[in-house]
C-alpha cells in the first residue's frame, strides 16, 4: 500500500490535485465566511479569494509539483502564472455569475461547481505554457 501511495505521489497531476484541493478548500471556506455568513458581495469575495488562492497555489506548486525556473526566469514565470490566473479569474467570475444570477443556483453549490470547472484549465495551462516541456515529458 505504501509503495502504491509513493508511486501515485510521483504523478504530477495527483500532486497538483492535492495542492489545488487544499487551496480550493481554503478558497471555499473564505467564500463561505465572507459571502454566505457575512453577506459581502459574492463576486468581490470570489475574486479576492481566487487571487489569494492563486498566490498560495503558485508557491506550493513550485515547491511540490513543478520545477520553477526550468523554462523561464522566475519573474517571467510569475507573470505567466498570473496571466493564466487572470484568464481563470475571468472564467471563474463568468461561471459563478451565470450560475447564481442567471440560473438562480445555490451560492455554495455554484462556488463548488466553479472551482471544479477551472481546475483542468489551471493545471494544463501551467503544465504546457509555463513550466519546462522537458520536465513535463517525464510524467503527467
Structural domain harbouring 20: 2-136
Q: Which residue has the higher pLDDT, 134 or 104?
A: 104
pTM exceeds cut of 0.85: no
A 10 A CB-CB count for 86 gives 13
Q: How far apart are CA 16 and CA 57, in angstroms?
A: 9
pLDDT of residue 139: 45
Reported as a single tens digit per residue, the pLDDT across 63-100 is 888 776 666 777 888 888 878 888 999 999 999 999 99
Given a cut of 50, is residue 17 above it in pLDDT? yes
DSSP letters, 63-111, are: HHTS-TTSSS-HHHHHHHHHHHHHHHHHHHHHHHHIIIIIT---HHHHH
| Structural domain count, the chain | 1
Residue 120, C-alpha cell as written in the block: 483542468
Q: How far apart are CA 137 and CA 140, in angstroms?
A: 7
pLDDT of residue 124: 81
Amino acid at each position: 500500500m505504501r509503495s502504491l501511495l509513493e508511486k501515485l505521489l510521483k504523478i504530477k497531476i495527483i500532486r497538483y490535485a492535492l495542492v489545488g484541493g487544499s487551496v480550493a478548500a481554503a478558497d471555499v471556506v473564505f467564500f463561505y465566511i465572507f459571502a454566505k455568513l457575512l453577506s459581502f458581495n459574492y463576486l468581490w469575495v470570489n475574486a479576492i479569494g481566487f487571487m489569494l488562492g492563486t498566490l498560495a497555489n503558485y508557491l506550493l506548486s513550485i515547491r511540490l509539483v513543478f520545477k520553477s525556473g526550468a523554462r523561464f526566469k522566475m519573474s517571467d514565470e510569475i507573470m505567466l502564472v498570473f496571466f493564466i490566473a487572470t484568464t481563470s479569474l475571468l472564467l471563474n467570475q463568468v461561471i459563478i455569475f451565470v450560475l447564481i444570477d442567471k440560473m438562480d443556483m445555490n451560492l455554495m453549490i455554484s462556488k463548488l461547481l466553479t472551482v471544479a470547472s477551472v481546475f483542468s484549465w489551471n493545471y494544463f495551462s501551467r503544465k504546457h505554457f509555463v513550466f519546462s516541456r522537458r520536465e513535463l515529458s517525464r510524467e503527467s
